Structure formats: structure tokens, C-alpha cells
Amino acid sequence: MKVGIIGAGGYAGGELLRLLLTHPQVTEVVAGSQSLAGKPVTAAHPNLRKRSDLAFVPYDNVTACDVLFLSLPNGSHRANEFVQRGELVIDLSSDHRLRDAAEYRAWYGDEHPHPDMLGRWVYGIPELHRDDIRRSARVTGAGCNATATILALLPLFAADVVDRTRPVVVECKVGSSEGGREPSEDSHHPERVGVVRSFRPVGHRHTAEVEQELALGGARPRIDLSVTSVELVRGALATAHVYVKERIDEKELWKLYRARYASEPFVRIVKESRGIFRYPEPKLVAGSNFADVGFALDPRGDRVVALCAIDNLVKGAAGNGVQAMNVALGFDEAAGLGFVGLHP
């Protein structure tokens, strides 16, 4: 199988290369980068030394692919240029995540240049839309903060125990790689190291994805999402405060989470009674496609704190895309995604 990547020079593009180069069904990878064309992929991704002798090629050379990944910056809106070059196209950007043009305008501040395309792409979290992904040739990635938030909350919304008349308050703590490869003032080492910086206390664009996806055919929930930059390179930890319709006990919470996730290959329920690893922790999923979810029950019984830790570049981007590719093409869902993370 031939797989192409448009935008292979970025962090998510590098993760796609890392995963696809060892994928059992992939025989050819084409790494497209306009700025790096002609250079070896190891110039941008030195971790691939002795794993690949590929060189970057111009976008014009990424053609006739069985699968094409678009790993371009959010707001590029270039899918129409490339969509005919792959039988299956997976867009990791935010350009097609929302289904409504007015919603896109409200959260992104601009008119979508191709509003007719919205709603034609499947929102590509397999744990949420596995059957739709199997039937689609156009899949969109999900935001990393949205992925962590959705997976933390999905069992509660799916079981309809959430009081939707009250907001769900979510705090996401995120690593620096979420900002992408291009440097900026806030990624400059003296300004970034050691910080716990409120990055987007209100109005984060991933809010719209979470509200859209967790409606689940019912009333659209209100999600109040804040994002804080912390001293990590990789990782996102979503901590969501949820009020339930009726008092609930821990035994019932276990049932809800197990019912939703027991058969999921990449979701692990992390809730221990003792020790330092009682709850999800981003460090333990770094480099992997796992999403560790957990919960804590307020002693008063009406509030659940739901948590999810992911690697923002893997389960929050490239790994989720490869998982969606596996689902769409009928492969083993875990193919190419066997890395379990490191400890310590």
C-alpha cells in the first residue's frame, strides 16, 4: 500500500512517518514537503536515523496514493488541491472538523472558503465514529484537547447521566509541541520553561468540536474549556467537572466506563486505590496511541471529575489518524501502533 503525506516536515508529519514506516500493510511512503524537498527526512526527524533513507519530495510528486494524509497548518484550506490524489484522505487539520459554516465562522473568525465541504468528512475518533469511518473515504482528524476531553466524558454522555442544563467545566494542561514546529515568542525556551501559563482560559476553538460531538443526538451541551501551558513537550491532560442528573456511586461509574471502553484497543481505565499512578498521567502515554481515562467522585455524589491523558502528537494527531486508516481499510486496528510508552 502506498501512503503519502502532505506536510511531512512538521511534528505530526514526523510522527506519521515514524508510525507508517513500520506498519505491516504499508509498502511505500512518500514524504511531501515544499520547504524541505530534496533533503533526507532525517534532517527534520533525526529520530528516524537508520530507520529510513527517504527524502522529502515536492507536493507535486505525492500522487496516486492508496492513502493520503494532510498534515498542513490549521486554516490552510488546501484539501481540494490534493483530495483526488488518494483513495482514502485523512486531514489532520481543523479545516473540516465542524459541520456548520456559521459555527466555523463563530469559532475561527473567518468564513470557510469551501462551506459545501463541511459535513462531508467523518470526524475521525474511532471510539466515537468507528462505523462511519469504515464507510468513508474522507476522514478528518480531531483536535488534541478535544480528543482528550471527549474521551474523558464520552461514557457519561453516552449513558445520559449528565445534567445538560449545567456547563461542563474542563481544564486542559498541554505541552509545548501543541504549538507546532514553527517557533514563536511563547515557545522561546526562557519564556516557556518552568511555566504554568494560562494559554486560552476562554474561547478555545476545540470547544466547538467537543460540543458538536458530545451532543450525541440530544441537547447540545455547554462546554467551558480552558487550556493551560505546562512544562511538558508532549502530552495533554483533560480534567472535566461534570454534574449529574441524579446522585451516582462509584460502582455505577465503573460500570459506565467499562461498558464503553472494555473492548477499545487504545483506551485504558486508570483508577487505582493507592500509589502515585492512581489517575491518568501524560508522561506514561508519551509516544503511544493510548488514551488513559479515569474518574473521581465527589463525596456529595452529584459531581464527577473525569480525566484523560494522551500524547497530543499521537492519539491527538498522527496515531489517531493511523488508527482511523486501519479502521477504514479493515486492517487490525492496532497495526503500526504497538508502542506502549515509557516508564520512568
Active-site residue among 65, 144, 172, 308? 144
Residues 27-65, buried b or exposed e (16+ Cβ, 10 A)? eebbbbbeebbeebbbebbeebeeebebebbebeebeeb
**Is 144 a catalytic site residue?**
yes
- The rounded distance, in Å, linking the Cα atoms of 91 and 67 is 11
CB 178 within 8 A of CB 312: yes
Catalytic residues: 144
